Chain A
C-alpha cells in the first residue's frame, strides 16, 4: 500500500500595513522618522501574496484547507487584515503592538512568525508561507529569507509563478533573478516571496467586505509568542535625500538640436 497522499495544504500569508505607495512621504523636522498621518494600505507585495494564496485555493479547491493572514503591528493594522479577509483569506492573527512601539525589524518579525507557525501546529500546521518580497517602507527585503532560515525550510524568492504539486509535496516556483529567471523545485513546507509579476490582485467586492467583518481575527501579543521585538539596529536619524541640482521646467529644451547641444556640453556626445 502506498501511504496516503491526501494532505491538506494550510497557507499562511504575513502582511504589513505600510504608507500607501502613492503617497509622497515627508521626513519630520526632528529627523526621527516620517510623517505618518497619511494614507496607509496593505504593502503591495503582500496583496500579491494574498491573491496568490486565494488563487491556489481556486485551482486546488478543497485541497487547501486554510488561508490564514497574520500581521504584526499597531491596532490600525487590523484594517489591513480585514482587507485580506475580504480578498478571500479565512481567518487572521493580529500580533498587536502598542501605537508607540518602534517598528519591528525583519529578524523580530521572522521570529514572531516562527512562533505563530509553531502555535499553528495543533491546528494542522502551516505548509506554505507566501509573503511579499519586500515592504515598500523599510525596503529591507529580508523577512521571508530569515524566516526560512529560522525554520530550516526551503525558500523561493521573487516568485513570478507558483505551481503547487501537492500530491508529491513539492512546489515549482519560477523566480526573478538578475538578468532573467530561474525555476526551482522546492519541497513543502516552503516559504515563497512574491515579485510584482506573480499576479494582479483583485479588488474586494462589497459583499466580501461585509463577509470579512464576520471572519475571526485572533489577537496575540509579542509576550504570548515569547518574542522580543526590540530593534537590534539603532536608527540614528532619518533625513531627506539630497535634492537633485537642476531639474524643473527651466531645464526644458525646445528641440532635438538643443538637446544634442546639452549632451555635448556634458561631454556625453562628441563632434
Chain B
C-alpha cells in the first residue's frame, strides 16, 4: 500500500516534464449553510491570477451540494464546476476527501495548481493530499504570480508571525503546485452579471472502504454578528476586560452600534472571556477590516500578526506604553470602562 503511494507521484513528475501545460487550477470550494464561503471567493481570485482556467470542486453531503453548485457556476472566473456527493463528505474530513482529490489529480489530470482558502478544513486537507503526491505545498499566500514561459509560480507569504515576508518560488519541475490563500489579501470573486455559466459535471465520490476517522459532533459558536474573518469592522477585547460578563457587556453594545464582529486576544480567550473561535492573531484568525478597535489589548507580536493589515486601527488602553499604540492610527489612553460606554452613547446619537 505504502509502496503504491510512493510510486504514483513519480509517474506524475514524469508526465509533466513532457508537456508544459497552460495553468489550470483546481479550486477546492468550501460552503456553509448552502452558501459558498467568502474565503473561497478570495481563493478564486487568487486562482484566476495564475492566468489560466479555473475548475471548482464542491464536495458535500446529499442535499447540500446542488444548491452550492448552482451558486458556484455563476462565479466570475470559474470555467467548470465539478461536484461530488457522499454522506461521508459532511463534514469534509481529510481522510475521506483526500482519495477523491488524489484521483482527480492523478490520472491524466489537466490541473497544474490546487488552490483553496487557508481555512481550518483546507489546512487539514491540502497538506495531506500534497504529501501523498510528494509535493511541498505553500500555505497562506498573500500574492501569487505565475510565469507561463517557464511554468514556475512565485508566491509571497508571511513568516515569523507576519514580521517578515518570504518570496518563494515553486519551480518549473514541480509538476503540480498546491497553495492555500490568505483571504484578506485577495478581493472576493463576484457572481457573473449575465450568461456564461460554468459547465457542471458530477463525479462519483471516492471514499475509503472504512474510514479510520469518524465525525462525532460539531458545535459552532452561534452569533448574529458578521463573521469575524470577513467583517468590515471588528471590535476586539483583551485581558483588561476582566471576565466573560464584562467582556460581553462592554464589547457587544459597541459592536452593535458599529455593525462590527467581535474578536479577542489570546489572553482574553485563555482566561475564558471569549470563545476560542474569536481569537485574532498568529494562531487564530487573521483579519484585515476597514476598522479594527482594540480594547484593553497590549499588542503582543502574536496579536499584531492577525490584525495589522487593518485599514484603520483604533486602540484604547490605560497603558500609554502599550505596543498597540505603535500600530494604532487613533489611540486613546484611558480606562476602557469609561471610554467605551461614552463612545457607544455618542455614536448612538
**Would you give the shortest CB distance from A188 to chain B, in whole angstroms?**
9
Q: Which of A145-187 contact B (CB under 8 A)?
A: 145-158, 160, 172, 176-187
Q: Does B158 touch A at the CB level, under 8 Å?
A: yes
Given A155-B94, A185-B214: A238 and B277 interface contact (C-beta under 8 Å):
no
Query: With a CB–CB cut-off of 8 A, which chain A residues contact B91?
Result: 182
Q: Does B332 touch A at the CB level, under 8 Å?
A: yes
Q: Chain A: interface residue count, which band? A: 35 or more
Query: With a CB–CB cut-off of 8 A, which chain A residues contact B276?
Result: 160, 176, 181, 195, 197
Query: With a CB–CB cut-off of 8 A, which chain A residues contact B93?
Result: 184
Q: Does B246 touch A at the CB level, under 8 Å?
A: no
Given A155-B95, A172-B216, A185-B213: A138 and B124 interface contact (C-beta under 8 Å):
no
Mark each residue of chain B from 200 to 240: 1 if its CB lies under 8 Å from any CB of chain A, else 0.
00000000000111111111110000010100010000000
Given A106-B136, A141-B123, A184-B214: A241 and B131 interface contact (C-beta under 8 Å):
no
Mark each residue of chain B from 149 to 187: 1 if its CB lies under 8 Å from any CB of chain A, else 0.
000001001111111111111110010000000000000
Query: With a CB–CB cut-off of 8 A, which chain A residues contact B134?
Result: 107
Mark each residue of chain B from 14 to 45: 1 if its CB lies under 8 Å from any CB of chain A, else 0.
00000000000000000000000000000000
Query: With a CB–CB cut-off of 8 A, which chain B residues contact A129?
Result: none
Q: Is the CB of A180 within 8 A of B162?
A: no
Residue of B nearest to A235 (CB): B168
Query: With a CB–CB cut-off of 8 A, which chain A residues contact B312?
Result: 263, 266, 268
Query: With a CB–CB cut-off of 8 A, which chain B residues contact A181?
Result: 218-219, 276-277
Total inter-chain residue pairs, C-beta < 8 Å: 264
Q: Does B139 touch A at the CB level, under 8 Å?
A: yes
Which one, A157, A241, A249, A257, contacts B165 given CB within 8 A?
A: A241
Q: Which of A102-126 contact B (CB under 8 A)?
A: 105-108, 110
Q: Is the CB of A262 within 8 A of B166?
A: no
Q: Which of B103-142 contact A (CB under 8 A)?
A: 119-121, 123-132, 134-140
Main secondary structure of the interface of B (DSSP, over half): mixed
Q: Is the CB of A182 within 8 A of B221?
A: no
Mark the stretch among A18-26, A52-60, A89-97, A217-225 that contacts chain B. A18-26
Q: Which of A178-211 contact B (CB under 8 A)?
A: 178-187, 190, 195-197
Q: Which of B300-349 contact A (CB under 8 A)?
A: 301-302, 308, 311-314, 320, 325-333, 339, 342-343, 346-347, 349
Given A105-B136, A240-B164: A260 and B120 interface contact (C-beta under 8 Å):
no
Query: With a CB–CB cut-off of 8 A, which chain B residues contact A232?
Result: 135-136, 170-171, 174
Interface pairs (9), CB distance under 8 Å = A45-B283, A141-B123, A154-B212, A154-B213, A182-B91, A247-B327, A248-B325, A253-B330, A256-B346
Known: A139-B158, A236-B154, A256-B339. 17 other contacts (CB 8 A): A21-B302, A24-B301, A133-B283, A136-B282, A145-B128, A146-B127, A149-B130, A155-B213, A183-B216, A184-B214, A233-B138, A238-B166, A241-B162, A251-B330, A252-B331, A260-B346, A268-B233
